[in-house]
Amino acid sequence: MAIARKNALDHPGLPVSEATAADYFALLKPRVMSLVVFTAFVGLVAAPVTINPLMAIIAIAAIAIGAGAAGALNMWYDADIDILMARTASRPIPQGRIEPRQALAFGLVLAVLSVLTLGVLVNWLSAAMLAFTIFFYAVIYTMWLKRLTPQNIVIGGAAGAFPPMIGWAAAMGSISVESFLLFLIIFLWTPPHFWALALYKSGEYGRAGIPMMPNVAGPASTRRQIFTYALIVALVGVLPFALGYVGELYGAAAAVLGTGFVIASASVLAAPRDDPSMKAEKSLFGFSILYLFGIFAAYLADAVLQRAIVAIGG
Amino acid sequence: MGDDFVTLTESQKRARRSRSVAIALALFAMVIIFYAATIAKFGHGFLDRAM
């Protein structure tokens, strides 16, 4: 009670926090976290080694919390621009439910805890990669690139692409061409995914002063770049099959999904310039999410199937 | 003296309770995780070593 009395006297009118646990959970960007959990899980399961299920759960949880910590640090730093965009204005800091310094402390504590847990209980290579990912997202992307260059999400996309490599490293204690290919798929997928969103949210990004590609190079150039990236993603998507790392199930899924991605991007390229509904761009954004979940689900299914065949055959 | 104390509103009390429960659950989960991981990594034998 003494603490409460001191605070009240030192800061008359100081608001007492009304932040709930749900507000703190929102700082972790749960939707992004779900993608991180899924791709890290695929990397971990695809690794050709048997990992203790408990260690697998701990590894995935630590990676998820590390990604959440990076999200909290992002929201702490970006609170000034989040309030300017409808997409982000309802976040806990712009809404005044959580103070920026509380979000900073929350993010830093979770970052340290997640990295140490992964290091102590799983292995230090995956922990070092998780630490680098958090640093890359919070500092390189959020603090440096995001407000500086239209290549922000191209380079920053690496942060979102690391989780399957971390999952693989957690299982194997090493990195490999296979895990690098999973990284590459997400890395190359990120620009067309975000630029589709940026095309129909260019007004908001413009108001916030974020130099997204459509605001800097214009919609026409962005549409051409989206199409180019989609072509590259479609080709890289089938590489794990072409190089013999996975079977026909994945190869067929990657070919179909890649073709769909290219067609959706071509629709954006051919869309009428004066279409205010931005239907093609919205469709591409939706399809890009389906593409990533689909291709990783196929990779997972193929890895599980191949293991089952080996087990039955053995 | 009554004016010296902070009187929480109902919504502030609810929010504080929500945060307290979440912290308790997180701490409990961490204890379980580290206990289970220790057993998984070292087995029950780690308790038998000479002190």
**What is the complex's ipTM, to 2 decimals?**
0.81
Q: Is residue A155 one of the residues assigned to a domain?
A: yes
Domain-located, residue A5:
no
Verify that A158 and A264 share a domain, yes or no: no
Could you tell me if A20 lies within 8 Å of chain B, comparing CB atoms? yes
Q: Name the minimum distance, in Å, from the CA of B17 to any CA of chain A.
A: 8
Chain A from 184 to 223: CB within 8 A of any B CB: none
Q: Is A55 an 8 Å CB contact of chain B?
A: yes
Same domain, A58 and A41: yes
- Residues A200, A289 within the same domain: yes
**Is residue A99 in some structural domain?**
yes
Q: Does A116 touch chain B (CB under 8 A)?
A: no
Report if residue A247 sits inside a domain: yes
User: How much is the pLDDT for A234?
Assistant: 98
Identify whether residues A168 and A24 lie together within a single domain.
yes
Same structural domain for residues A161 and A203? no
The identity of residue A285, as a single letter, is F
Specify the length of chain A in residues: 314
Whether residue A155 sits in one domain with residue A64: yes
CATH of the domain at A135: 1.10.357.140
Query: Would you say residue A2 lies in a domain?
Result: no
Q: Which of A118, A152, A174 is the last residue of a domain?
A: A174
Q: Which domain holds residue A84?
A: 20-174
**Domain's final residue, options A148, A174, A200:** A174
Residues A209 and A243 in one domain: yes
Do residue A65 and residue A162 come from a single domain? yes
Residue A9 lies in a domain: no
Number of domains in chain A: 2
For chain B, residues with pLDDT lower than 70 are: 1-3, 44-51
Of A108, A143, A174, the position where a domain reaches its end is: A174
Residues A79 and A170 both lie in one domain = yes
- Most A CBs within 10 Å, among B1, B3, B5, B6, to test the A interface: B6
Per residue of chain A (314 residues), what is the pLDDT tens digit?
Answer: 444 444 444 444 557 788 999 999 999 999 999 999 999 999 999 999 988 999 999 999 999 999 999 999 999 999 999 999 998 999 999 999 999 999 999 999 999 999 999 999 999 999 999 999 999 999 999 999 999 999 999 999 999 999 999 999 999 999 999 999 999 999 999 999 999 999 999 999 999 999 999 999 999 999 999 999 999 999 999 999 999 999 999 999 999 999 999 999 999 999 887 778 899 999 999 999 999 999 999 999 999 998 898 888 75
